[in-house]
Structure 1
Amino acid sequence: MTAATAQPESKGLLHWLKKEALPLLVMLGLLAAARDSLANHYQVPSGSMQYTLMPGDRVVVDMRAYGLRLPFTGVELLHTGQPQRGDVAVFDSPQDGTRLIKRIAAVGGDRVALRGGHLSINGHPLAQAGTDEVEDFGRTLAQLDLGQGGGPDIQDLTVPTGKVLMLGDHRGNSADGRFFGLVDAGALYGKASRVYYRRGEGFTWQAL
Structure 2
Amino acid sequence: MKNWLKQNRGFVIFLVCLGLFRTAMADWNPVPTGSMRPTILEGDVVLVNRLAYDVKLPLTNITLGRLGDPQRGDIVTFNSPKDGSRLIKRLVALPGDVVAMRDDVLYINGQAARYSDLTPAAEQLGTGITVPALRATETVAGQQRTVQFLDRVGAKRSFGPLVVPPEHYFMLGDNRDNSEDSRYIGVVPRDRIIGRANHILVSADITDHWQPRPGRFASALN
Verify: 1:158 aligned to 2:145, yes or no: no
Higher helix share: 1
Displacement of 1:137 in angstroms is 5.5
Tell me which stretches of 4 or more aligned residues in structure 1 moved more than 4 Å: 128-132, 137-140
Displacement of 1:106 in angstroms is 0.6
2:116 and 2:88 map into 1 onto residues whose CA distance is 28
CA distance change for structure 1 residues 52 and 204 in 2, over 3 Å: closer, same or farther? Answer: same
Displacement of 1:117 in angstroms is 1.9
Task: Indicate the SS of the match to 1:145.
Answer: strand
1:126 and 1:195 map into 2 onto residues whose CA distance is 27
Identify the residue that residue 76 of structure 2 maps to in structure 1.
Answer: 89
Q: Which runs of 5+ in 2 are unaligned?
A: 119-134, 205-211
Displacement of 1:139 in angstroms is 6.9
Of 75, 88, 96, the residue aligned with 1:109 is: 96
Q: How does 1:167-178 map to 2 (within 5 A)?
A: 167-178=172-183
Q: How does 1:136-147 map to 2 (within 5 A)?
A: 136=139, 141-147=144-150
Identify the residue that residue 218 of structure 2 maps to in structure 1.
Answer: 205
1:24 and 1:182 map into 2 onto residues whose CA distance is 41
2:104 and 2:32 map into 1 onto residues whose CA distance is 22
Displacement of 1:129 in angstroms is 5.7
1:176 and 1:47 map into 2 onto residues whose CA distance is 12
Question: TM-score if structure 2 supplies the norm length?
Answer: 0.78
- Residues 56-115 of structure 1: CA distance to partner in whole angstroms, max 9, x if unpaired? 111001100111112222222221111111111111111111111111111100011112
Tell me if structure 2 keeps the 8 A contact 1:152–1:178. no
Q: Which runs of 5+ in 1 are unaligned?
A: 1-12
Q: How does 1:1-208 map to 2 (within 5 A)?
A: 18=6, 20-128=7-115, 133-136=136-139, 141-148=144-151, 151-199=156-204, 200-202=212-214, 204-208=217-221
Displacement of 1:136 in angstroms is 3.1
Higher strand share: 2
Root-mean-square deviation over aligned CA pairs: 2.3
**Based on CA coordinates, which of the two structures has the bigger radius of gyration?**
1
Tell me if structure 2 keeps the 8 A contact 1:148–1:173. no
1:17 and 1:95 map into 2 onto residues whose CA distance is 40
- Counterpart AA for 1:207: A
- Counterpart AA for 2:179: S
Tell me if structure 2 keeps the 8 A contact 1:67–1:80. yes
CA distance change for structure 1 residues 76 and 124 in 2, over 3 Å: closer, same or farther? Answer: same
- Counterpart AA for 1:155: G
Task: Indicate the SS of the match to 1:46.
Answer: coil
Kindly tell me the number of residue pairs found equivalent between the two proteins: 194
Moved more, 85-94 or 122-131: 122-131
- Counterpart AA for 1:206: S
